[in-house]
């Protein structure tokens, strides 16, 4: 799958270079993204995990936490073994990387992270059940999907439906751990995205021909005296042969919406899977009076990288921290996947939207000589893409192999061979 | 300078350097009657220590906090997670709102926070700092006259210390009370009250540096005007104060009345549960405090639990670290209940540590009154590894140099300002600290006397 | 040993006798006795002078991290305050430990060969000849004159002791170097006068003192070898010799160091140490912004006055400057460079004009949460016109002035005008500040305050102007501006405030400054060539003493004269 995606990317890139680009626009407005996260609605009026219209049973279906001893016993381990596996005093349980043995609970002790279907669905990982969602109508069909808070019909956001009740993503705006984690790193300077909008008309607020681009920048965000991202800083565009998303749009009363779906765009993702591919991508932004920009970037994203991202973030750690059985995430994404790039083919993609907040900033051409004149493509200036050799397995990232950390952080094992607690511990009755 | 002294070179030094002793007889007027200490009562040396614990204290996602007092300045209120500091509250200053500015370096979780506090810069890689930890600068300034320049201890049994001169290799800590006991009071222990005592030869050499200056006094003073004479007199009087300090170090030290050699602790199995770590902390505090009172060292670095703390409540299958990340914020209370409970438990270690130091009477006050302990953690809101609002404390009077008992609240000032403050209060001759956006020459003068 | 001491004692006794005679003669007759010297001033060296000296001696790699004792502003300048400062006990501790740290770095085995001009015969033992060579070489740099034999001998002795103790030549050398670095002869510039051979009844500064005055004024550093040679040969006492050295100093890029130090002093940059802004009002303020602003102003001054040799008064009107990314955000302009700093010219619509409209001046002389026309006006008069404002009367009701939530500051300041005690000063101080009111307390452009349009018109003594550009023109044409610079340069150089006896001189020099187009480097050179720059004022209570062969005084047993 990965290979086809890459190929598509190349095709798209070459198409873009060939296309005539806008040299100078009548107007250009520029921003830097100070926060972006999956566009999820927290359906309760108060709190951060309360039951609400989105998840009537509350976050994680109000299941407080998975009883992992129980899970392991059901997977064929003895209770004594299961208790010992979960004991913090067990030297095979790394306080940093977790208990690797958690992986081997599939059929015939298969590693469930890389063989999710070897482990049954728990039945506790419920989808969002409300009718309301944020995002964009991607398929043009008002009868499918959710209703937006403003009443717009046909909002396609099955990513929200699949994962919206999961503890990782469910919280009021800017408060979910998933959003906090990746925005925090961005705000501390590890990556930057800028937004450029330009048009041909006289009035930026009402212009039938708007182009809007989202680009990477090599310049870091800077925090102000109150700890917020400072306005009016300058950022260069970093040409990237892959990560660049340019949209054709129009503006009406300051609202910039797509005039056509872009077949394929890529941008930095606030998640473990860092590169976000969006097919049939669209935008819906509003230019606010205070100069800020707020809205959505939507499209169909491949769902496997989402799952792989969580597995590679260390399966046992993610399962413990987010109270989820990772195969449930796999089943949910697969179930609600709603887009097949090839008509009639496999539904490898799922509808999705990012909610984006951007503040006024100066955006410069890559050489910093002048401010950008238009939202055009900078791919031609990017260093050539080195044809990546597809890895043997997607489940290898940083120090993890197949979702677990091997050979670091003490005596961890990849196979079930250290299951019995020491005799002294059994005698002491600490299990 | 590495000094290689043997009896013969000592003798040679003494003989060849009659100038060394020249100034001393004249100093008598500055000494009190027993001829041992400064007449102004500054009898006891300032000691310095760091105290580290992992996982910070609890903030809430909506901006509240379980530890930051609402009142600033003197007389702050005790918050739930600071409960264990109640007994020594007036000797502890609380610092909130300080942050690590990464200058584009990544947030290396459970490392960037304390590495930046100690080295003055967000680190580029885990387990590395870009320079020495600042405690070594203090040890260089105040820790040279004792048997150990500094002592490191780790209460969780883990071999972890953050004291480094290179940024790559770290001092080896004592990881059990018994090991700490042996280090301090086992073989090589120098009983400050023992009748056998030898002066430190390097002090005589430092004196000779000054006597070369005073040798030229007459020539310098010749032909100066009245105003200049007053100024130069002050210079020489300042120099004489320095000579005095050195001379006192050549005198037999005052009897350490507070020094009572403790009994050896009992060996216990190692464990990381919070009750065991706290009990180790308390025992180690007692030993370290006596090590200070008995003049074995002036500087210590204590680690309660490492950055990604493995401590847990005995009987629980979850460790504290995991709870900080996975526990949801309680809908009604607005904070992570279990996390906050554990934070308070972990803080008991700090409270007991300070109580032990405060229990040792020394001179007119307690050992704590003559010490400065900087307590800090690796993170603010641990759930997201926040580098903002990292809890930090200064405890102890530092011989009157720390205006203790205050809460200093800022909005995002760099943590290095407190590191610099601690260095200056403890007596390290450092004017600025930190790199890039964390570089500062501004100590927190509010807490400096 | 015994023999040497007794010889020295004899010599010292002889000196004491002849000294006594000289003193008496001078005191009684009022005529200068032959061969007596007098020390006219001791000026503590500043932090930057200390740093520059160490850098010149050992290179920029040596780290200097210490708390320098605070400096003191007197008569408008730190340079004047330095003549009043001594070293406290805690300060001495700091300098002592700094000296030790510098010695450790200089004589680190990895680099010491580049610093020590010789090799010891045996690295485990003292080597007096090598120590002497080392002490003489660096002593001359630190003391700004050759060391006396006694000064050298004292360090040789120290080094012997250290080498014996540690069985290491370099350990001894460290002690000797440390001793030089804490010596008052280094920490203080001891300005010495000697009888003027051309005019036997008068004193003149000795050659080394002249060299130091020149070097600190032009370069903010101790004299280099060439300048010391000119001092030794007596060349500095001749017009040709002095002119040659001034031309050399002027031509050097190190003039920039001198200009920086002078303007840091004159413009009261110590205010940056305490700058504070309320993040609620000025979220863009940060330490990085403050540091950048300081550097911007210094870069502007050096570029305009030293590099481009422009008219000094252009400082108030020129919009050529430098910015970095932080400042670009505050000025709300794009930063068109990938480098750390970039040249930048403010366009007319920015309403900016000269250094008074940079963040430095606008933010330093404001409140943490608001601008202050009064502070700005007071500082314009104090810093650039040498006209300090008296302290406000004690009984002012500030309640009306401090209601910040309504109207503009202009209406609030009217409250002062009801009280004649206030009005007499505010009439002078406020108008220039009010003209700068389009810049808030951080220096950001604005046109309204609390929703009310800000009026930036001003009137001083019948002269009307509007906004920052109007103020710039007003200041550029004000004769007090160049005169104040002349006064400051002279006072900075000689280390004492000007008084009524100097007025004619200042007036003449201001005229000459103008005649040459108000060029700062010219002004420095011009002042340095006047006899007034080296004029001796014998301080009260100074008893001239014979210079004597230094070796003899120095070899007297230490403490004999105590």
Q: Would the pLDDT of C7 be above 80? A: no
The pLDDT > 90 percentage for chain A reads 63
Return the minimum-mean-pLDDT range out of A165-169, A362-366, C280-284, C424-428: C424-428
A63 touches chain B (CB under 8 A): no
Q: What is the CATH number of the domain that holds B378?
A: 3.40.720.10
Q: E-assigned strands of A93-191?
A: 93-94, 98-99, 146-147, 153-155
DSSP for A208-257, please give it: EEEEEEEEEESSPP-B-TTSSBPTT-EEE-B--SS-EEEEEEEEETTEEE
- Are C100 and C516 in contact, with CB atoms under 8 Å apart? no
Q: Which range is least confidently modeled, A255-259, B266-270, B287-291, C175-179?
A: B266-270
CB contact under 8 A, B227 and C550: no
How confident is residue A321, by pLDDT bands cut at 50, 70 and 90? confident
**What local confidence, expressed as pLDDT, does residue C512 receive?**
97
Cα distance between residue C525 and residue C533, in whole Å: 11
Task: Report how far apart the first and last C-alpha atoms of chain A are (Å, whole number).
Answer: 46
Chain B, 243-272: which have a CB under 8 Å from a chain C CB? 245
Q: Chains near A, with 3+ CB pairs < 8 A?
A: B, C
pLDDT (average), residues A338-351: 96
pTM of the model: 0.80
Helices in B296-381 by DSSP H: which ranges? 320-326, 337-359
Task: Report yes or no: B342 and B320 within 8 Å, Cβ to Cβ.
Answer: yes
**DSSP element (H, E) containing C192:** strand C188-196
ipTM: 0.85
Please state, in angstroms and rounded to a whole number, the distance separating the CA atoms of residues B43 and B28: 16
B363 — contact with chain C (CB < 8 Å)? Answer: no
Measured CA to CA, the distance from residue A297 to residue A245 in angstroms comes to: 10
Q: Do A220 and B61 count as a contact with CB atoms less than 8 A apart?
A: no
Whether the CB-CB separation of B273 and B255 falls below 8 Å is answered with: no
Per-residue pLDDT reduced to its tens digit, A359-387 = 999 999 999 999 999 999 999 999 887 77
Q: Per-residue confidence at C483, pLDDT binned at 50, 70, 90?
A: very high
User: Does B1 have pLDDT greater than 50?
Assistant: no
Q: Is A321 on the interface with B (CB under 8 A)?
A: yes
User: Which residues fall within 8 angstroms of residue C55, CB to CB, at 6 or more apart?
Assistant: C62
**Given CA atoms A109, A114, A119, A125 in this order, what sign does their dihedral have?**
positive
SS3 of B179-226: the string is: HHHHHHHCCCCCCCCCCCCCCCHHHHHHHHHHHHHHCCHHHHHCCECH
Which member of A225, A368, A370 has the closest CB to residue C283? A225
Which residue of C290, C336, C369, C442 to mutate against A (max A Cβ within 10 Å)? C336
Among candidates B201, B217, B228 on the partner chain, residue whose Cβ is nearest the Cβ of C165: B201
* 3-class DSSP assignment, residue A124: coil
Q: List Cα–Cα distances, B412 to A228, A244, B72, B386, B417, in angstroms.
A: 10, 33, 16, 12, 11
Mean pLDDT value of segment C370-389: 92
Opening angle at CA C490, ends C489 and C496, nearest 5: 115
Is residue B24, in this structure, part of any structural domain at all?
no
pLDDT of C549 over the 70 cut: no
Where do we find the tokens 């109007």?
C470
Q: Would the pLDDT of B258 be above 90?
A: no
Cα C138 to Cα C21: distance, rounded to the nearest angstrom: 35
φ and ψ at B304, to 5 degrees?
-75, -60
B356 domain residue, yes or no:
yes
pLDDT at B373 over 80: yes
pLDDT value for A419: 54
* Range with the poorest average pLDDT among B7-21, B129-143, C85-99: B7-21
Q: Which of residues B206 and A217 earns the better pLDDT score? A: A217
Rounded Cα distance between A35 and B191, Å, is: 61
Q: Which two tokens stand for residue A185?
A: 């790193």
> Taking CB atoms and an 8 Å limit, are A226 and C329 in contact across chains?
no
Provide the token pair at C133: 């060579």
Q: Per mean pLDDT, which range of A125-129, B60-64, C545-549 is the poorest?
A: C545-549
User: What torsion do the CA atoms of B239, B240, B246, B252 make, to the nearest 10 degrees?
Assistant: -170
Query: Quick check: B216 and C167 CB within 8 A?
Result: no
| DSSP code at position B242 | H
Name the band, by pLDDT with cuts 50, 70 and 90, for residue B323: confident
Q: Which residue has the higher pLDDT, C93 or C246?
A: C246
Q: Which has the closest alpha carbon to A5: A334, A298, A242?
A: A242
Q: Is C1 exposed, middle or buried (0-12, 13-18, 19+ CB in 10 A)?
A: exposed
- Of the ranges A67-76, A340-349, B390-399, C29-38, which one carries the lowest mean pLDDT score? C29-38
Whether residue B202 lies inside any domain: the answer is: no
How much of chain C, in percent, has pLDDT values that exceed 90? Answer: 69
- E-strand spans in A1-92? 27-38
Q: What is the mean pLDDT of residues C253-266?
A: 97
Provide the pLDDT confidence category of residue B106 given band limits of 50, 70 and 90.
Answer: confident
- Enumerate the domain spans of chain A: 2-46+124-303+348-381, 60-114+403-428
The mean predicted confidence, pLDDT, of chain B is 84
Largest CA distance in chain C: 90
Min distance C558 CA to chain B CA atoms (Å): 4
Rounded mean pLDDT of B297-302?
94
* Contacts with C, B 104-133, CB within 8 Å: none
User: What mean pLDDT is predicted for residues B163-179?
Assistant: 87
Number of Cβ atoms within 10 Å of the Cβ of C63: 10
Q: How far apart are CA B113 and CA B319, in angstroms?
A: 21
In the block, tokens 């979702």 appear at A403
How far A233 CA lies from chain C's nearest CA (Å)?
Answer: 5
Residue with the larger pLDDT of the pair B21 and C426: C426
Radius of gyration of chain B (CA): 23
B11 touches C at CB < 8 Å: no
Confidence (pLDDT) at A388 = 67
Q: Which helix (H) or strand (E) holds A285?
A: strand A275-287
Statement: residue C316 has pLDDT above 50? yes
Q: Which two tokens stand for residue C46?
A: 């500043």
Residue C1's pLDDT is 35
Comparison of pLDDT for C256 and C36, the residue scoring more: C256
What pLDDT, on a 0 to 100 scale, did the predictor assign at position A401? 85
Among candidates C359, C156, C201, which has minimal Cα distance to C269?
C359
Task: Compute the distance between CA of residue B150 and CA of residue A243 in angstroms, rounded to an integer.
Answer: 52
Answer whether residue A409 shows pLDDT above 50.
Answer: no
- Residue C517's CB: how many other CB atoms inside 10 A? 12
Least confident of A20-24, A65-69, A97-101: A20-24
Q: Which of the pair, C400 or C499, is modelled with greater confidence?
A: C499
Question: Which of C283, C286, C328 is facing A234, going by the closest CB pair?
Answer: C328
Taking the CA of residue C335 and the nearest CA in chain A, the distance in Å comes to 6
pLDDT for position C16 = 34
CA C164, CA C131: separation in Å to the nearest integer?
14
Quick: pLDDT tens for C182-239.
999 999 999 999 998 888 788 999 999 999 999 999 999 999 999 999 999 999 999 9
Measured N-to-C along each axis, helices C169-181 and C128-143 cross at an angle, to the nearest 10 degrees, of 20
Please identify which residue in the block is written with the tokens 């590191």: B419
Contact check, Cβ <8 Å, A225/C277: yes
Closest CA to C180 of C206, C209, C159: C159
CB contact under 8 A, C42 and B209: no
**pLDDT level of residue C547 (50, 70, 90 thresholds):** low
pLDDT band at A61 (very low <50, low <70, confident <90, very high): confident
**What's the burial of C515, exposed, middle or buried (CB within 10 Å: 0-12/13-18/19+)?**
exposed
Question: Does any CB of chain B come closer than 8 Å to the CB of residue C269?
Answer: no
* Contact assignment for C86 to B411 by CB distance below 8 Å: no
Do the beta carbons of residue B180 and residue B174 sit within 8 Å?
Answer: yes
Three-class DSSP category at A104: strand
Considering chain C, what is the average pLDDT of its residues?
Answer: 87
* Structural contact between residues C167 and C500, judged by C-beta atoms closer than 8 angstroms: no
**Average of per-residue pLDDT values in chain A:** 86
pLDDT digit string, tens, across residues C491-532: 999 999 999 999 999 999 999 999 999 999 999 999 999 999
For A287-301, what is each residue's pLDDT tens digit? 999 999 999 999 999
Of the residues C558, C560, C561, C562, the best mutation for testing chain B's interface (the one with the most B CB atoms within 10 Å of its CB) is: C558
pLDDT band at B33 (very low <50, low <70, confident <90, very high): very low
Chain B residues whose CB is inside 8 A of the C160 CB are: 16
B102 pLDDT above the threshold of 90 = no
d(CA B141, CA B151): 15
First-to-last alpha carbon distance for chain B, in angstroms, is: 33
Neighbours of B17 (CB within 10 A): 22
Lowest mean pLDDT among A327-341, B373-387, C102-116: B373-387
From CA B72, how far away is CA C364, in angstroms rounded? Answer: 26
Assign 3-state DSSP to chain C and report helix, strand, coil percentages, each to 5.
55, 10, 35
Lowest-pLDDT choice from A54-58, A95-99, B377-381: A95-99
Residue whose C-alpha is closest to residue B303's, from B293, B325, B288 = B288
State percent of chain A over pLDDT 70.
87
Task: Identify the bridge partners of residue A268 per DSSP, sorted by sequence position.
Answer: A275
Q: What is the pLDDT of residues B185-194, one digit of tens each?
A: 987 787 878 7
- Percentage, residues of chain B above pLDDT 90: 46
Encoded tokens for B241: 């104060």
CA distance C6 to C17: 17
Helix or strand holding residue A140 (H, E): none
pLDDT, tens digit (0-9, with 9 covering 90-100), for C223-244? 999 999 999 999 999 999 999 9
DSSP secondary-structure letter at A314?
T
Range of the domain at B175: 47-188+258-447
Name the CA radius of gyration of chain A, rounded.
Answer: 23
Rounded CA gap, C217 and A167, in Å?
A: 68
Distance from A21 to chain C by nearest Cα, in Å? 23
Number of domains in chain B: 1
Phi-psi region of C203 (alpha: psi -120 to 50; beta: other; left: phi over 0): beta
Euclidean distance between CA atoms C413 and C455, whole angstroms: 13
Q: How far is A368 from chain C (nearest CA, A)?
A: 5
CA C140 vs CA A21, C103, C107, C148, C217: distances in Å? 69, 16, 18, 10, 19
C-alpha dist (Å) from residue B54 to B127, B381, B412: 15, 12, 21
Q: How confident is the model at residue C405 (pLDDT cuts 50, 70, 90)?
A: low
């Amino acid at each position: 799958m990965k290979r086809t995606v890459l190929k598509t990317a190349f095709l798209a890139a070459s198409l873009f270079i060939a296309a005539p680009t806008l040299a100078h626009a009548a107007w250009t407005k520029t921003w830097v993204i100070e926060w972006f996260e999956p566009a999820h609605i927290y359906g309760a009026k108060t709190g951060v995990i309360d039951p609400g219209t989105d998840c009537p049973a509350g976050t994680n279906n109000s299941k407080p936490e998975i009883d992992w001893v129980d899970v392991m016993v059901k997977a064929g381990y003895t209770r004594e073994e299961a208790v010992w596996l979960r004991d913090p005093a067990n030297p095979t349980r790394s306080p940093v990387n977790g208990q690797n043995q958690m992986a081997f609970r599939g059929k015939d002790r298969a590693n469930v992270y890389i063989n999710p279907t070897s482990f049954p669905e728990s039945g506790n990982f419920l989808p969002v059940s409300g009718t309301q969602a944020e995002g964009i109508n991607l398929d043009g069909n008002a009868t499918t999907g959710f209703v937006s808070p403003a009443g717009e019909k046909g909002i396609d956001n099955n990513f929200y439906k699949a994962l919206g009740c999961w503890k990782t993503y469910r919280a009021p705006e800017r408060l979910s751990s998933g959003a906090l984690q990746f925005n925090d790193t961005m705000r501390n300077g590890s990556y930057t995205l800028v937004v450029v909008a330009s048009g041909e008309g006289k009035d930026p607020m009402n212009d039938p021909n708007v182009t809007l681009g989202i680009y990477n920048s090599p310049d870091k965000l800077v925090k102000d005296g109150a700890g917020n991202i400072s306005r009016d800083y300058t950022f260069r565009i970093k040409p990237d042969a892959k990560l660049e998303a340019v949209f054709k749009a129009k503006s009406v009363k300051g609202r910039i919406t797509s005039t056509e779906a872009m077949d394929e765009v890529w941008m930095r993702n606030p998640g473990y899977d860092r590169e976000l591919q969006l097919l049939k991508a669209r935008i819906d932004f509003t230019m606010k009076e205070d100069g800020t920009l707020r809205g959505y970037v939507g499209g169909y994203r491949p769902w496997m990288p989402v799952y792989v991202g969580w597995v590679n973030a260390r399966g046992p750690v993610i399962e413990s921290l987010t109270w989820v059985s990772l195969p449930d995430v796999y089943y949910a994404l697969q179930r609600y996947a709603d887009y097949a790039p090839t008509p009639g083919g496999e539904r490898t993609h799922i509808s999705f939207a990012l909610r984006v907040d951007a503040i006024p900033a100066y955006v410069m051409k890559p050489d910093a000589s002048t401010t950008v004149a238009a939202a055009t493509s900078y791919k031609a200036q990017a260093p050539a893409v080195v044809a990546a050799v597809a890895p043997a397995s997607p489940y290898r990232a940083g120090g993890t192999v197949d979702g677990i950390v091997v050979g670091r952080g003490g005596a961890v094992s990849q196979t079930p061979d250290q299951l019995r607690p020491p005799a002294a511990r059994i005698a002491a009755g600490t299990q | 300078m590495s000094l290689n002294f043997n009896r013969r070179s000592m003798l040679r030094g003494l003989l060849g350097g009659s100038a060394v002793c020249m100034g001393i007889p004249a100093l008598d007027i500055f000494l009190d009657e027993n001829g041992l200490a400064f007449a102004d009562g500054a009898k006891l040396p300032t000691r310095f220590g760091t105290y580290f614990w992992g996982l910070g204290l609890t903030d809430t996602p909506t901006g509240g906090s379980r530890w930051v007092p609402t009142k600033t300045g003197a007389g702050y209120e005790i918050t739930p997670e600071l409960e264990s500091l109640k007994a020594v509250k007036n000797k502890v200053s609380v610092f909130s709102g300080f942050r690590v500015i990464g200058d584009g370096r990544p947030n290396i979780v459970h490392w960037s926070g304390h590495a930046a506090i100690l080295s003055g810069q967000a680190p580029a890689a885990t387990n590395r700092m870009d320079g020495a930890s600042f405690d070594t600068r203090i040890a260089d300034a105040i820790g040279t006259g004792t048997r150990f320049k500094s002592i490191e201890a780790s209460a969780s049994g883990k071999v972890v210390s953050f004291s480094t001169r290179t940024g790559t290799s770290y001092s080896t800590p004592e990881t059990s009370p018994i090991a700490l006991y042996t280090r301090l009071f086992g073989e090589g222990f120098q009983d400050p009250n023992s009748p056998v005592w030898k002066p430190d030869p390097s002090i005589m050499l430092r004196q000779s540096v000054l006597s070369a200056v005073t040798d030229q006094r007459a020539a310098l003073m010749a032909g100066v005007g009245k105003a200049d004479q007053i100024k130069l007199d002050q210079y020489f009087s300042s120099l004489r104060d320095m000579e005095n300090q050195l001379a006192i170090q050549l005198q037999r030290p005052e009897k350490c009345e507070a020094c009572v050699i403790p009994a050896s602790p009992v060996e216990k199995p190692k464990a990381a549960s919070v009750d065991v770590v706290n009990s180790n902390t308390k025992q180690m505090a007692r030993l370290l405090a006596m090590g200070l009172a008995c003049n074995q060292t002036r500087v210590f670095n204590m680690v309660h639990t490492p950055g990604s703390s493995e401590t847990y409540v005995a009987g629980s299958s979850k460790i504290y670290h995991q709870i900080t990340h996975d526990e949801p914020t309680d809908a009604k209370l607005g904070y992570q209940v279990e996390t906050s409970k554990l934070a308070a438990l972990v803080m008991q270690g700090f409270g007991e540590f300070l109580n032990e130091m405060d229990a040792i009477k020394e001179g007119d006050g307690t050992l704590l009154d003559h010490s400065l302990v900087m307590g800090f953690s690796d993170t603010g809101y641990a759930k997201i590894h926040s580098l903002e609002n990292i809890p930090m404390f200064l405890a102890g009077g530092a011989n009157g140099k720390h205006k203790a008992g205050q809460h200093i609240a800022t909005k995002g000032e760099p943590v290095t300002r407190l590191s610099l403050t601690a260095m200056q209060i403890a007596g390290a001759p450092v004017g600025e600290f930190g790199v890039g956006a964390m570089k500062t020459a501004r100590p927190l003068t509010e807490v400096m006397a | 040993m015994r023999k040497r001491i007794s010889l020295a004692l004899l010599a010292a006794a002889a000196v004491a006798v002849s000294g006594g005679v000289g003193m008496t003669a001078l005191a009684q007759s009022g005529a200068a006795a032959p061969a007596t010297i007098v020390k006219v001033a001791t000026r503590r060296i500043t932090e930057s002078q200390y740093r520059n000296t160490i850098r010149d001696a050992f290179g920029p790699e040596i780290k200097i991290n210490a708390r320098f004792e605070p400096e003191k502003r007197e008569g408008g300048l730190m340079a004047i305050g330095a003549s009043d400062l001594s070293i406290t006990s805690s300060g001495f501790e700091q300098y002592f430990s700094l000296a030790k740290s510098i010695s450790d770095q200089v004589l680190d085995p990895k680099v010491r060969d580049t610093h020590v001009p010789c090799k010891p015969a045996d690295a485990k033992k003292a080597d007096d000849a090598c120590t002497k060579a080392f002490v003489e070489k660096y002593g001359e740099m630190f003391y700004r004159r050759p060391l006396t034999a006694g000064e050298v001998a004292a360090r040789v002795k120290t080094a012997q002791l250290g080498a014996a103790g540690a069985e290491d030549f370099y350990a001894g050398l460290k002690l000797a170097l440390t001793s030089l670095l804490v010596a008052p002869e280094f920490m203080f510039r001891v300005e010495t006068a000697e009888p003027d051979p051309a005019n036997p009844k008068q004193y003149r500064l000795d050659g080394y003192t002249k060299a130091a005055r020149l070097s600190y004024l032009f370069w903010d550093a101790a004299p280099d070898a060439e300048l010391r040679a000119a001092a030794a040969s007596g060349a500095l006492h001749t017009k040709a010799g002095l002119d040659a050295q001034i031309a050399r100093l002027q031509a050097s890029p190190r003039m920039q160091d001198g200009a920086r130090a002078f303007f840091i002093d004159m413009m009261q940059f110590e205010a940056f140490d305490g700058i504070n802004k309320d993040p609620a009002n000025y979220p863009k303020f940060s330490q990085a912004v403050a540091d950048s602003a300081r550097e911007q102003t210094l870069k502007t001054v050096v570029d305009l006055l030293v590099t481009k040799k422009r008219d000094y008064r252009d400082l108030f009107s020129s919009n050529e400057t430098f910015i970095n990314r932080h400042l670009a955000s505050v000025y709300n302009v794009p930063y068109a460079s990938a480098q750390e700093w970039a040249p930048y010219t403010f366009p007319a619509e920015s309403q900016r004009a000269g250094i008074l409209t940079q963040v430095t001046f606008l933010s330093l002389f404001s409140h943490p949460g608001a601008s202050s026309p009064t502070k700005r006006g007071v500082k314009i008069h104090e810093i650039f016109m040498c006209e300090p404002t008296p302290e406000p009367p004690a009984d002012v009701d500030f309640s009306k002035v401090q209601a910040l939530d309504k109207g503009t500051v202009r209406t609030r300041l009217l409250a002062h005008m009801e009280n004649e005690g206030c009005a007499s000063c505010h009439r002078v101080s406020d108008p220039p500040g009010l003209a700068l009111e389009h810049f808030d307390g951080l220096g950001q452009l604005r046109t309204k305050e609390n929703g009310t349009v800000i009026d930036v018109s001003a009137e001083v003594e019948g002269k009307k102007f509007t906004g920052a550009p109007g103020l710039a023109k007003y200041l550029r044409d004000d004769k007090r501006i160049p005169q104040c610079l002349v006064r400051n340069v002279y006072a900075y150089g000689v280390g004492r405030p000007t008084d009524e006896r100097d007025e004619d001189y200042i007036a003449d020099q201001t005229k000459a400054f103008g005649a040459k187009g108000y060029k700062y480097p010219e002004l420095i050179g011009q002042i340095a060539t006047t006899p007034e720059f080296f004029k001796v004022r014998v301080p009260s209570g100074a008893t001239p003493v014979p210079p004597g062969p230094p070796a003899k005084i120095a070899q007297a047993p230490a403490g004999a004269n105590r």
